[in-house]
Amino acid sequence: MFRSAIAGAASLLLWAAAEFAAITFICPEGEAWARVRSGASTVVMDRGEQIARPGDAIFTCETPHTIGPFVMHRDLACYCAPRDTSPAQVSEILGGLCTLDTLQPAPDDAGGACQYGRCSTLVDPSTARFDRN
């Protein structure tokens, strides 16, 4: 029984260390925040599977990336929400600071911080939810 408890605790610590390393070293949203803040680029996202739905606008949002109560770093990502949604509404849902990037995104649009109509997350203000893909 004692060995099982030790193995379980060791597995839990190994999992926590792997999560911490992934969040710290390979978080695309954290890398985007650092890249934009350093002035190396103004592009937050230019590729990915998720594109804006018809009637969506794209917002760039800076949010804290946390593990429990601890803020690990800041994230910067592109979020799609209905065009009539305000940046303040998206900010409230996500718990960050959001600005409008593109009012009418298109798959062939290379302008803005969120290019080609790409977003990492769809925000639904009617349910105050967001679905990360």
Domains contained in the chain, number: 2
Q: Check residue 133 and give its pLDDT.
A: 47
47 and 6 in a common domain: no
The answer to pTM > 0.95 is: no
Sign for the pseudo-dihedral over CA of 45, 104, 37, 33: negative
- pLDDT, tens only, 27-69: 888 888 888 999 998 999 888 888 999 999 999 999 998 888 8
Q: Are residues 21 and 54 in the same domain?
A: no
Mean pLDDT of 106-129: 88
**What SS3 state is found at 69?**
coil
Residue 70 sits in the same domain as residue 13: no
Residue 20 has pLDDT above 80, yes or no: no
Residues spanned by the domain of 11: 2-27
